[in-house]
């Protein structure tokens, strides 16, 4: 039996990268017969950067609404908020005693987010990957579907799991497998084809949010950085055209066809011909999700109910794992 776990931070609205890199794949996992899926809103990760508590509460509900609106079914998957299951943070402390500073210092996400001010960054931002390891290991999850940017954190979680097993001479934690699949595991910014589309990019024009309306999507795609050349016939001719490759990758992912087929469709055409068709496809793909999200957000009590019952189920799985970790580590549970 596979146990699948993944999560998203309620730092802001979800974007096309979160959707194609992760969420779309999560939906398909719940159809696998031998898989048990847990999807959480990782609010404890979101507070590692400056935030407004009122905004966080609403964003947490919005992310849960986005999960459900995209097809995560609370009857098939456990949907919950990370902070509602305190075992995540309790396990984090225990794993933190095994996580090496040197390895944490090599995490590129910390370097990117802390920027030049690493000395002033909070301990939470630095220790983020240890909490992520705890999120996974507290459920002994076997598979973690993520976008490519999370690969390094997953490797650290695997490392911490094997350090624990070796140190205490047990075969307790499984090695969680990163599942980096889908046609667009790394969606790039609309303003720069060499950096990833991200919620924390200061420019909203760099991403397409799940809640953007049709006009906004059209405007963002029209202004997306491209070049003046026509689209080529062969995919390899896009090797040095990162923005063009990104848009073709996105078109292919949303239309469920190969990049080669999408390119054939537009070969010889310019971006002024490609962009309106691409915008139409994004609008069509997002409209049902956005409409569902808007409906769900009118009844936040129902979302809270789903999250509360998800948290109860998650805690039933997490508590015995934490108890066993305490026993293995010789900690008292008086």
Active site residues: 113, 196, 199
Q: How far is the CB of 144 from ligand AQP (least distance, A)?
A: 8
Residue window 271-290: x/- pattern of binding to ligand AQP, with contact defined by CB under 6 A = --------------------
- DSSP one-letter code for 224: S
Binding mask 129-168 for ligand AQP (x = CB under 6 A): -----------------xx-xx------------------
| Range in contact with ligand AQP (rule: CB under 6 A) among 160-168, 183-191, 242-250, 298-306 | 183-191
Nearest approach, Cβ of residue 172 and ligand AQP (Å) = 25
Q: Is the dihedral of CA 107, 104, 16, 144 positive or negative?
A: positive
Q: Which stretch binds ligand AQP (CB under 6 A): 5-13, 159-167, 302-310, 311-319?
A: 5-13
The least distance separating ligand AQP from the CB of residue 200, rounded to whole angstroms, comes to: 3
Taking Cα atoms as reference points, which of 64, 65, 67, 60 lies closest to residue 19?
67
# residues contacting ligand AQP (CB under 6 A): 19
Determine the 3-state secondary structure of 37 from DSSP.
strand
Name every residue whose Cβ is closer than 8 Å to that of residue 62 and which is 6 or more positions away in sequence.
10, 13, 211, 293, 297
Q: Which stretch binds ligand AQP (CB under 6 A): 33-41, 170-178, 180-188, 235-243?
A: 180-188
Which residue in 86, 87, 68 sits closest to 78, CA to CA?
68
Sole window of 68-76, 185-193, 276-284, 285-293 interacting with ligand AQP (rule: CB under 6 A): 185-193
Which residues from 42-81 bind ligand AQP, rule CB under 6 A? none
**Minimum gap (Å) between residue 49 Cβ and ligand AQP:** 7
Find the binder of ligand AQP among 199, 218, 274, 283 (CB under 6 A).
Answer: 199
Confirm or reject binding of residue 178 to ligand AQP (CB under 6 A): no
Sign of the four-CA dihedral 158, 154, 118, 44: negative
Give buried/exposed letters for 65-96 (b at 16+ CB in 10 A, else e). bbbbbbbbebeebbbbbbbbbebbebbbebbb
The minimum distance between CB 273 and ligand AQP, in angstroms, equals: 26
- DSSP3 helix / strand / coil % (the chain, rounded to 5): 60, 10, 30
Between 8 and 325, CB nearer to ligand AQP? 8
Residues 271 and 223 sit within 8 Å (Cβ to Cβ): no
Overall residue count recorded for the chain in this entry: 334
Interstrand relation of 2-8 and 35-41 (parallel, antiparallel or unpaired): parallel
Q: How far is the CB of 201 from ligand AQP (least distance, A)?
A: 7
Residue 11 touches ligand AQP, criterion: CB under 6 A: yes
Calpha distance 246→145 (Å, rounded): 21
Q: Is 219 exposed, middle or buried (0-12, 13-18, 19+ CB in 10 A)?
A: middle
List the structure tokens of 144. Answer: 């973690």
The only residue of 18, 48, 60, 226 in contact with ligand AQP, by rule CB under 6 A: 18
* 197 scored as a contact of ligand AQP (CB under 6 A): yes
Chain positions contacting ligand AQP, by CB under 6 A: 8-9, 11, 17-18, 21-22, 146-147, 149-150, 185-187, 196-200
């Amino acid at each position: 039996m596979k146990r699948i776990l993944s999560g998203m931070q309620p730092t802001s609205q979800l974007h096309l990268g979160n959707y194609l890199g992760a969420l779309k794949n999560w939906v398909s996992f719940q159809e696998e017969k031998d898989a048990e899926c847990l999807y959480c809103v990782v609010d404890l990760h979101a507070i590692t950067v400056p935030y407004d508590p009122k905004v966080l509460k609403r964003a947490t509900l919005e992310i849960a609404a986005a999960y459900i609106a995209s097809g995560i079914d609370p009857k098939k998957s456990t949907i919950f908020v990370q902070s509602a299951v305190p075992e995540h943070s309790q396990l984090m402390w225990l794993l933190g005693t095994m996580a090496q500073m040197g390895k944490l210092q090599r995490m590129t996400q910390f370097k990117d987010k802390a920027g030049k001010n690493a000395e002033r960054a909070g301990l939470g931002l630095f220790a983020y990957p240890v909490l992520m390891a705890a999120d996974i290991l507290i459920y002994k999850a076997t598979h973690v579907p993520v976008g490519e940017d999370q690969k390094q954190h997953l490797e650290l979680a695997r490392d911490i799991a094997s350090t624990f097993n070796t140190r205490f001479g047990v075969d307790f934690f499984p090695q969680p497998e990163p599942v980096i699949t889908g046609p667009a595991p790394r969606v790039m910014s609309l303003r720069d084809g060499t950096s990833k589309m991200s919620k924390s990019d200061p420019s909203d024009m760099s991403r397409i949010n799940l809640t953007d309306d049709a006009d906004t999507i059209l405007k963002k795609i029209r202004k997306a950085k491209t070049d003046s050349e026509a689209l080529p016939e062969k995919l390899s001719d896009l090797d040095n055209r990162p923005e063009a490759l990104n848009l073709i990758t996105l078109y292919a992912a949303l239309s469920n066809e190969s990049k080669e087929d999408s390119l054939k469709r537009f070969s010889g055409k310019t971006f002024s011909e490609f962009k309106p068709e691409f915008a139409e496809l994004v609008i069509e793909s997002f409209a049902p999700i956005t409409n569902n999200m808007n409906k769900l957000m009118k009844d936040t009590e129902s979302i809270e109910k789903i999250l509360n019952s998800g948290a109860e189920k998650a805690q039933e799985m997490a508590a015995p794992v934490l108890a066993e970790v305490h026993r293995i580590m010789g900690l008292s549970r008086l």
